[in-house]
Amino acid sequence: MTKLLFFYFITIIHICILLVYSNSIASKIKLRYKFESSNILKRYKENYGVKEEYVKEKFHNQNAKKEVIIFKISIGSHNFTHRDVDKRLLMKFVDNNDSITNDIYDPEESSVRDNSTSSDETIYCTFKYCKIGFLYYKQNSGDQNISKDVGNVNEIFYIGFIKTNEFSNLILKILPTVDNKHIFNIVLCPDKKWIRSTPWPKYIPNTNNTMKFPVSYKNTNNSNYKFLHCHSGNDKTFLSCGRLEQLFMPPIDVGYGCTKLNSKNDNYTNNLEEKEVNLIVTFGYKFICNKKNILDSKYATYGILKPDDNNKLNSSIFTLFDKNIKFYSKQRIIMIPLDELNITNFNITDDLMGYTLTYEPKCTVPNLKATLHLKINDIVQNFEIKTKENSEEVKKYIIDKRKIKNAPVRCQVVPDGLKNPAFDNFYDYYYSTSLVMFDETKNRYKKVSDLQSLVSNAKYKCILNTNNGIPKYGELNFIKESKFTIILIESTTIDMFLFGALITVALLSIVGIFILKKFQPKKKKAHKIKSTSSSSSTSTSPSRSKSSSVISNVHNVPIIQKKAVNIVAKKIAGKNANKKATNNEDSIFILK
Q: Which of 19, 90, 91, 92 is nearest to 51 (CA)?
A: 19
* Class of residue 122 by CB neighbours under 10 A (exposed 0-12, middle 13-18, buried 19+): middle
Q: What angle do CA 209, 214, 215 make, to 5 degrees?
A: 120
Q: Are residues 285 and 420 in contact, defined by beta-carbon separation less than 8 angstroms? A: yes
Does one domain contain both 174 and 213?
A: yes
In the listed set 131, 162, 193, which residue is the last one of a domain according to the structure?
A: 162
In the listed set 446, 462, 492, which residue is the last one of a domain according to the structure?
A: 492
Q: For the chain (length 592 residues), average pLDDT per consecutive 10?
A: 52 48 58 79 76 62 73 76 73 88 75 48 87 83 58 84 90 89 93 80 91 80 84 84 94 92 78 93 91 94 90 85 93 93 62 89 93 91 79 83 85 88 90 91 91 91 72 65 90 58 76 70 46 41 36 32 40 43 39 47
Does one domain contain both 301 and 355?
A: yes
In this prediction, residue 40 carries a pLDDT of 64
Does one domain contain both 340 and 384?
A: no
**Cis preceding-peptide flag for 199 (omega within 30 of 0):** yes
Q: What angle do CA 338, 255, 311 make, to 5 degrees?
A: 75
Q: Which of 83, 86, 38, 88 is nearest to 235 (CA)?
A: 83
In this prediction, residue 22 carries a pLDDT of 42
Q: Which of 159, 160, 95 is nearest to 121 (CA)?
A: 95
Does one domain contain both 467 and 403?
A: yes
What is the rounded distance in angstroms from the CA atom of residue 318 to the CA atom of residue 227? 8
In this prediction, residue 547 carries a pLDDT of 33
> How long is the chain?
592
Pairing of strands 482-489, 393-400: parallel
Hey, which bits of 377-432 come out as E strands? 379-380, 384-387, 393-400, 409-415
Q: Which of 343, 320, 345, 317 is nearest to 331 (CA)?
A: 317
Residue 198's CB is within 10 A of a number of other CB atoms, namely 14
In this prediction, residue 560 carries a pLDDT of 33
In this prediction, residue 571 carries a pLDDT of 43
549 part of a folded domain = no
209 part of a folded domain = yes
- Residue 505 dihedral angles phi and psi, to the nearest 5°: -60, -40
Q: Are residues 454 and 475 in contact, defined by beta-carbon separation less than 8 angstroms? A: no
Rounded to whole angstroms, the maximal C-alpha distance in the chain is: 170
Distance of CA 316 to the CA centre of its chain: 8
Does one domain contain both 300 and 429?
A: no
Does one domain contain both 440 and 389?
A: yes
582 part of a folded domain = no
409 part of a folded domain = yes
DSSP code of residue 472: P
In the listed set 492, 517, 537, which residue is the last one of a domain according to the structure?
A: 492
320's CB contacts (< 8 A; 6+ apart) are 211, 212, 213, 214, 300, 301, 302
Does one domain contain both 106 and 218?
A: no
Does one domain contain both 227 and 319?
A: yes
DSSP code of residue 421: G
Cα torsion through 506, 509, 514, 517, rounded to 10:
-150
Q: Are residues 229 and 178 in contact, defined by beta-carbon separation less than 8 angstroms? A: no
* Class of residue 110 by CB neighbours under 10 A (exposed 0-12, middle 13-18, buried 19+): middle
Supply the range of the domain harboring residue 102. Answer: 16-162
584 part of a folded domain = no
Q: Are residues 431 and 328 in contact, defined by beta-carbon separation less than 8 angstroms? A: no
Does one domain contain both 158 and 185?
A: no
Does one domain contain both 271 and 405?
A: no
Q: What is the DSSP string of 69-134?
A: EEEEEE-STTT--TT-SSEEEEEEEEETTEE-GGGEE-TTSS-GGGTTB-TTS-EEE-SS-B--EE
Helix/strand number for the chain, H first, E second: 4, 35
337 part of a folded domain = yes
Residue 382's CB is within 10 A of a number of other CB atoms, namely 9
Q: Are residues 224 and 210 in contact, defined by beta-carbon separation less than 8 angstroms? A: yes
515 part of a folded domain = no
| 3-class secondary structure, 534 | helix
What is the rounded distance in angstroms from the CA atom of residue 247 to the CA atom of residue 41? 31
In this prediction, residue 61 carries a pLDDT of 56
Q: Which of 130, 230, 225, 128 is nearest to 170 (CA)?
A: 130
User: How many angstroms separate the first and last alpha carbons of the chain?
Assistant: 105
89 part of a folded domain = yes
In this prediction, residue 64 carries a pLDDT of 60
Does one domain contain both 56 and 204?
A: no
Strand partners, 414: 371
Integer CA distances (angstroms), 124 to 115, 160, 353, in order: 9, 14, 10
Domain count, the chain: 3
CATH number of the domain within which 470 lies: 2.60.500
Does one domain contain both 140 and 252?
A: no
Q: Are residues 255 and 239 in contact, defined by beta-carbon separation less than 8 angstroms? A: yes
Residue 545's CB is within 10 A of a number of other CB atoms, namely 10
